[in-house]
Amino acid sequence: MSNPESVDDVAVALGQLLSDPAKRAAMGEAARIRACNEFDYDVLSSRLAGVLGVEK
């Protein structure tokens, strides 16, 4: 997508995504992996401990 603030560009990108099941599946899997890696309890608690300056 060249301009995420353009309604037309977003509409084209969504249309392409709707017509491509493999791309949707790949994006979903990538999002799942990212969520597991970045929002896991152990990861978040370690980050918070670091911000608070305490040992986990």
Q: What are the pLDDT tens digits along the chain (56 aa)?
A: 789 999 999 999 999 999 999 999 999 999 999 999 999 999 999 999 999 999 87
Q: Would you state the pLDDT for residue 2?
A: 81
Q: Would you state the pLDDT for residue 19?
A: 98
Q: How many domains would you assign to the chain?
A: 1
- Residue 32 belongs to what domain range? 7-52
Q: Would you state the pLDDT for residue 56?
A: 73
Q: Is residue 35 part of a domain?
A: yes
Q: Is residue 17 part of a domain?
A: yes
Q: Would you state the pLDDT for residue 1?
A: 75
Burial code of 23-44, b = ≥16 C-beta within 10 A, e = fewer?
Answer: eeeeeeeeeeeeeeeeeeeeee
Q: Is residue 1 part of a domain?
A: no
Q: Is residue 12 part of a domain?
A: yes
Q: Is residue 21 part of a domain?
A: yes
